[in-house]
Amino acid sequence: MVSFLFKRLLQSIIVMFTVALIAFSMFRFVGDPINNMVGQDTTQQERDDLRERLGLNDPVPVQFGKFIVNAAQGDFGRSYKYQVPVSDLIFARMPATLELAFVSAILALVIGIPLGVYTALKRSGIASKFIMTMSLVGVSLPPFLIGILLILFFGVILRWLPTFGRGEVIEFTSWSTGFLTASGLKSLILPSITLALFQMTLIMRLVRAEMLEVLRTDFVKFARARGLPDRLVNFKHALKNTLVPVITITGLQLGSLIAFAIITESVFQWPGMGLLFIQAIADVDIPIMAAYLVMIAFFFVLINMIVDILYYAVDPRLRADDE
């Protein structure tokens, strides 16, 4: 167990290191950082001072080292555009994105997995065929278009639900939540459906494919040949074996929710990290882009670690390697 986790941790560090290197290169080599920080009328003398002060004259590896040390403490420099620390911007926006991603993840899992199991077990049924066709329509609808259609229908035509922003939020020290107000919850509905729909269809199709694979195995056939009732065969033997591969890929998918939120946030003007990022791209605000990249990688690594531990708990074959 320890060696397994250690190995995973090492891999995660390599991932974070690589991402940090990319982020640093963006910051250092895309455009001139000084030009981006100062106004037109700054003298050469002032520029040189700033360059020296920011350590941009140091050897590149030293700069990278400093970058990593700072990043580990949450310091990504100042935004070119807003002239405030990037970390302040990001942390202020983070709750919005995380709440949205969390609700969407729950939606996608709670609906996606049962539908996948159902369509695998009753694969020639009419309901299954309908669900499968709908899921193809689901993956064919770009998320931003889903958002637009929902806005058009529930916002513009029916006027039932708010179409932009988070509604009222309540602040807890540095965390602002929309979970505790009626308008906050109402505002969550359309964006979270938009974000969840695509992942839901993916998870459903994945669960179905894996389940069909497992249902064809010899041990399922042997379980039936022993006279075990369908309920036991399907849910005790087949489903558990399906979950092993599903956990990994689902973990990856959910990790990508945070990044996919960019689109949803943009459609619904949701004040999260994604909206910040997309504006940063339009403004070529490199520090924000770099910080966002590192942030996403961190969440991904975190989710992956959790997935690995789950994996380990489910599959005895992995545990056996320790003995």
Partner 1 sequence: MELLNIKNLQIEFPSRRGTVLAVNDVSLTVRPGEVLGVVGESGAGKSTIGNAVIGLLEPPGEMSGGNVYLKDEQINTLSSEEKRKIRGRRIGMIFQDPLTSLDPLQTVEQQLVETIELHLKLGPAKSKEKAIDLLRQVGIPEPEVRITNYPHQFSGGMRQRVVIALALCAEPEVIIADEPTTALDVSIQAQILELMRKLCQEKQVGMLIITHDMGVIADITDRVAVMYRGNLVEEGTTEKILGDPDHPYTKSLISAVPRPDVRLKRFPMVDYIEKEGERKKLLDISTHWLGQARDFDAVEGPLIEVKDLVMTFVTKQALLKKNRQMFNAVDGVSFDIKQGEVFGLVGESGSGKSTVARMISGLYTPAAGTINFGDTDLTKIKSEKEMDYYRRQMQMIFQDPFSSLNGRMRVMDIVAEPIRFHKLASSNAEVEQIVTDLLDHVGLGAQAAVRFPHEFSGGQRQRISIARALATRPRFLICDEPTSALDVSIQAQILNLLKDLQEELGLTMLFISHDLPVIRQMCDRVGVMKMGQLVEVAETENLFKDPQAPYSKELLSLMPKLDKLSHRGLEVEED
Partner 2 sequence: MENTIEKTRLERFLDSDVWHSFKNSPVAIGSFLVTLLIILSALFAPYIAPHDPFDLAVIDILDSNLPPAWELDGDPRFLLGTDDQGRDILSTIMYGARISLFVGFASVIFSMIVGITAGLVSGYMGGRVDAFIMRIADIQLSFPAILIALLIDGIARGIVPKEAHEEVAVYVLIFAIGISGWVQYARTVRGSTLVEKGKEYVQAARVIGIRPGTILHRHILPNVMGPVMVIATIHLAIAIITEATLSFLGVGVPPTTPSLGTLIRIGNEYLFSGEWWITIFPGAALVILVLAVNLLGDWLRDALNPKLR
Based on the shown chain and the rule CB under 8 A, indicate whether residue 315 belongs to the binding site for partner 1: yes
Name the one residue in this structure whose structure tokens are 């310091």.
75
The Cβ of residue 271 has, within 10 Å, a number of other Cβ atoms equal to: 19
Q: Could you say whether residue 187 binds partner 2 (CB under 8 A)?
A: no
Structure token digits, residue 30:
């895309």
**Contacted entry of partner 2, partner 1, none for residue 35, CB cut-off 5 to 8 Å set by kind:** none
In order, the DSSP letters of 82-140 are T-SBHHHHHHHHHHHHHHHHHHHHHHHHHHHHHHHHHHHHTTTSHHHHHHHHHHHHHHH
Which of the stretches 164-172, 196-204, 216-224, 257-265 binds partner 1 when contact is defined by CB under 8 A?
A: 216-224
226 binds, among partner 1, partner 2, none (CB under 5 to 8 A by kind): partner 1
Could you say which residues in the range 5-34 bind partner 2, by CB under 8 A? 14-15, 18-19, 26, 30-31
Round to whole Å and give the CA distance between 254 and 245.
15
Does position 143 interact with partner 2 (CB under 8 A)? The reply is yes
CA dihedral 122, 127, 128, 129 (to 10 degrees): 130
Beta-bridge mates of residue 175:
172
Question: Is 218 an interacting residue with respect to partner 1 (CB under 8 A)?
Answer: yes
Q: How far is the CB of 121 from partner 1 (least distance, A)?
A: 15
Helices 239-268 and 86-121 cross at an angle (nearest 10°) of 140
Residue 246: CB minimum distance to partner 1, A: 13
- By the rule CB under 8 A, 310 interacts with partner 1: no
Which of 50, 56, 244, 309 binds partner 1 (CB under 8 A)? It is 244
212 interacts with partner 2 by CB under 8 A: yes
By CB under 8 A, name the one of 119, 192, 241, 304 that touches partner 1. Answer: 241
